[in-house]
Chains A and B, each alone.
Chain A
Amino acid sequence: MQGTASHSPSLAAPQQATRTAAAARPYGRYLYLAINIAILVFLLAPIAVVVVFALNPTPFIQFPPVGVSLRWFEKFFASRDFMHALWFSLEVAVLTTVSATALGASAALALARGNLPGTRLIVATMLSPLMLPAILTGLALFQTYVLLDVGRPTWGLVAGHTLVTLPYVVRTTLAVLHNFDTRLEEAAQNLGASPLRTFFEVTLPLIKPGVLAGAIFAFIVSFDQFPVSLFLVSPGNETLPVTLFNYLKFDLDGTIGAASVVSIVLAFVVVIGLDRTVGLRSYVKL
């Protein structure tokens, strides 16, 4: 973008227009950067405010903050309700990650290598929970569990979470499967490896980054999931987002801030881990 102006005069461009464009360029460039920085502030400031609020000792919102204290973190970690919810959320997220990864990765393998008819339609269907309202998935599952009279078991919640996290695993695994050279598998087989051995020694190591990326997405999405959980949790066995939501309806003190910081830190640790191990760039295309 920047380098073009210098050699444009040698072309037969209208002199007048070139000069106007060159004069307008620095201002346009500054405006462009200013707008973008304002947008970045809009995106990141609310997260910063949560952190400030969590560390501020006053029990109400005060700006600018008056000091730094960890009392809200103490209150959060001492609260039975919040701790129970945190552990329950982690339990559900781990179970969801395991099932979504196992199901999603094998589905992606079948879709990429199984010669299935109607692959496009199957992929579209498997990705559809991403776009269809999650609150409907919650409502529909809730009605089904009521009709079948199964109550609100943890497996029912995990099934709902698996449904909405499976698309991430399918997508990241399909992306690596489409990118790697199938001749590697053919070569292994030509050299005498059985299909099973080819799978474990060639295919699996190659798709591992995609599967891992999908698993991490599944974990984070499940840990933060709200609409499906809203319908499927039972009283006394609530996930952290549901507990936070119920607390928020009545109270707005720093405990929520502390709880938010804990969940933000958790997500960031996971994502930085992801970036270090497999790289983010190739997996966040929508």
Chain B
Amino acid sequence: MSSTATTRPNGLALFILPSALLFALFFFLPIGLMAVMSVLTGNPVVMPKVAFTTRHYARMIGDPFYLEVIWTTIRIGLVTTLVALLIGYPLAHWMARIKSRTGHALLLMAVLAPMLTGIVVRTFAWMTLLSDKGVINQTLISLGLISQPLKLMYTETGIVVGLVHIYVPFMVLTLTGVIGRIDERLEQAAENLGASPLRAFLEVTLPLSLPGILAGSLLVFALAISAYVTPILLGGFQIMTLPILIYQQISANFNVGFAAALGIILLMISLLLVIAYNRALGLVSGQRELQ
């Protein structure tokens, strides 16, 4: 950009090598091995005679149980994404439009605080809230609103609540960036021309923030379908998702080939989402250049 004459790599380019080596050895090689393992009959270290097979994939497609697991994973991901969007948008809008610096800093802290609390800790927090003798049920019973505890834990709803709490900060941070770039004067112009604040929002701000909505949703969906801790603890080992199934294949069944095949499926879904996410963010920056 600045130096127009030289476009060939210079000495500083060599600084990329350690990271390249790390990625080659600990990222590309392992994922490549996982792909290989997913089409082998067994572990080549233990068994000398292994052959090519498609049976791990055939097992997945042939058994309605596994298709159901994949569908449950996607369903939980979709609901989580939708709720995270509905909850994240108002907060992101407030953060992007708040005038006071202190107010912005406080909101930012509030969004970051859950992010900085580990996944296991946050899932534990939701267990204390949602379980039969948890805070919510105890409060409702002592108020006389219910006599039997509501079944909040060990349900998909419980899992979704926990996942939304964990991933909504990602949605908020993505949306805040995008909404912040929308010129506020556009909304003001719409309102000066007689539109209500709601209509100005629906017809001006919302359409302009669509790329951010798309990027945030893809990010949350990608994170939600790969979650392990929250579905297993809030689902009480009763609801099966793809990551839970993958770990179970390793820890209980030691079926490395099948685990690898499931992993490759999850990887494919995630890769598509990553590409779409980058496209969506590309739209955002493209928009900025047009302004």
- Whether A88 sits at the interface, judged by CB under 8 Å, is no
CA distance A56 to B56 in the complex (A): 50
B-facing mask of A25-50, CB < 8 A → 1, else 0? 10010001001100110111111011
Q: Which residues of the partner chain A approach B225 to less than 8 Å between Cβ atoms? A: 133
Could you say which of B219, B250, B274 contacts A231, with CB atoms under 8 Å apart? B250
CA distance A4 to B12 in the complex (A): 52
**Is A122 a contact of B116 with CB atoms below 8 Å?**
no
Q: What's the minimum C-beta distance from B152 to chain A, rounded to whole angstroms?
A: 13
Which residues of B from 12 to 42 have beta carbons under 8 Å from A? Answer: 12-16, 18-20, 22-23, 25-27, 29-31, 33-34, 37
Listed stretches A70-78, A139-147, A204-212; interface member = A139-147
Q: Is the interface of B mostly helix, strand, loop or mixed?
A: helix
B-facing mask of A83-119, CB < 8 A → 1, else 0? 0000000000000000000111011011101111100
- Whether B239 sits at the interface, judged by CB under 8 Å, is no
Q: Which residues of the partner chain A approach B126 to less than 8 Å between Cβ atoms? A: 46
Knowing A146-B256, A245-B229 are in contact, say whether A133-B29 is a contact too (CB < 8 A).
Answer: no
**Is B194 a contact of A17 with CB atoms below 8 Å?**
yes
CA distance A19 to B250 in the complex (A): 66
**Is B19 a contact of A126 with CB atoms below 8 Å?**
yes
- Whether A62 sits at the interface, judged by CB under 8 Å, is yes
**Is B10 a contact of A114 with CB atoms below 8 Å?**
yes
Q: Which residues of the partner chain B approach A124 to less than 8 Å between Cβ atoms? A: 278
Could you say which of A5, A128, A131 contacts B219, with CB atoms under 8 Å apart? A131
- Whether B246 sits at the interface, judged by CB under 8 Å, is yes
- Whether A66 sits at the interface, judged by CB under 8 Å, is no
**Is A226 a contact of B31 with CB atoms below 8 Å?**
no
Q: Which residues of the partner chain A approach B233 to less than 8 Å between Cβ atoms? A: 245, 248-249
Q: Which residues of the partner chain A approach B31 to less than 8 Å between Cβ atoms? A: 136, 140
- Whether A252 sits at the interface, judged by CB under 8 Å, is yes
Q: Which residues of the partner chain B approach A132 to less than 8 Å between Cβ atoms? A: 222, 226, 267, 270-271, 274
CA distance A114 to B9 in the complex (A): 5
A-facing mask of B1-13, CB < 8 A → 1, else 0? 0110011111111
**Is A281 a contact of B138 with CB atoms below 8 Å?**
no
Could you say which of A8, A14, A61, A133 contacts B226, with CB atoms under 8 Å apart? A133
CA distance A259 to B267 in the complex (A): 33
Q: Is the interface of A mostly helix, strand, loop or mixed?
A: helix
Could you say which of A115, A260, A267 contacts B125, with CB atoms under 8 Å apart? A260
- Whether B287 sits at the interface, judged by CB under 8 Å, is no
**Is A122 a contact of B16 with CB atoms below 8 Å?**
yes
What size tier do the contact residues of chain B reach? 35 or more
**Is B26 a contact of A160 with CB atoms below 8 Å?**
yes
Q: Which residues of the partner chain B approach A111 to less than 8 Å between Cβ atoms? A: 16
- Whether A191 sits at the interface, judged by CB under 8 Å, is no
- Whether B214 sits at the interface, judged by CB under 8 Å, is no
Could you say which of A8, A47, A53, A162 contacts B22, with CB atoms under 8 Å apart? A162
Knowing A42-B87, A141-B26, A281-B108 are in contact, say whether A36-B94 is a contact too (CB < 8 A).
Answer: yes
CA distance A26 to B251 in the complex (A): 58
Could you say which of B13, B33, B113 contacts A47, with CB atoms under 8 Å apart? B113
CA distance A7 to B274 in the complex (A): 46
CA distance A234 to B178 in the complex (A): 43
Could you say which of B23, B110, B128, B222 contacts A43, with CB atoms under 8 Å apart? B110
Q: Which residues of the partner chain A approach B223 to less than 8 Å between Cβ atoms? A: 131
Q: Which residue of A lies closest to B104 (CB)?
A: A281
Q: Which residues of the partner chain A approach B54 to less than 8 Å between Cβ atoms? A: none
Could you say which of A126, A143, A249, A256 contacts B30, with CB atoms under 8 Å apart? A143
| 20 further contact pairs, Cβ within 8 A, besides A4-B191, A227-B229 | A42-B87, A43-B165, A43-B168, A61-B138, A63-B134, A107-B19, A114-B12, A117-B9, A132-B226, A136-B270, A139-B246, A143-B33, A149-B45, A224-B116, A231-B250, A241-B118, A252-B127, A256-B124, A281-B108, A284-B112
Query: Closest 3 interchain pairs by CB?
Result: A133-B226, A114-B13, A140-B30
Residues of A within 8 A of B (CB): 1, 4-5, 8, 11, 13-14, 17-18, 20-21, 24-25, 28, 32, 35-36, 39-40, 42-47, 49-50, 53, 60-63, 102-104, 106-107, 109-111, 113-117, 122, 124-126, 128-129, 131-137, 139-144, 146-147, 149, 159-160, 162-163, 166, 170, 182-183, 195, 220, 223-224, 226-227, 230-231, 241, 244-245, 248-249, 252, 256-257, 259-260, 263-264, 267-268, 271, 280-281, 284-286
Give 12 CB contacts A-B under 8 Å: A11-B192, A49-B129, A61-B134, A117-B9, A128-B274, A133-B222, A133-B267, A135-B228, A159-B25, A166-B19, A166-B22, A244-B124
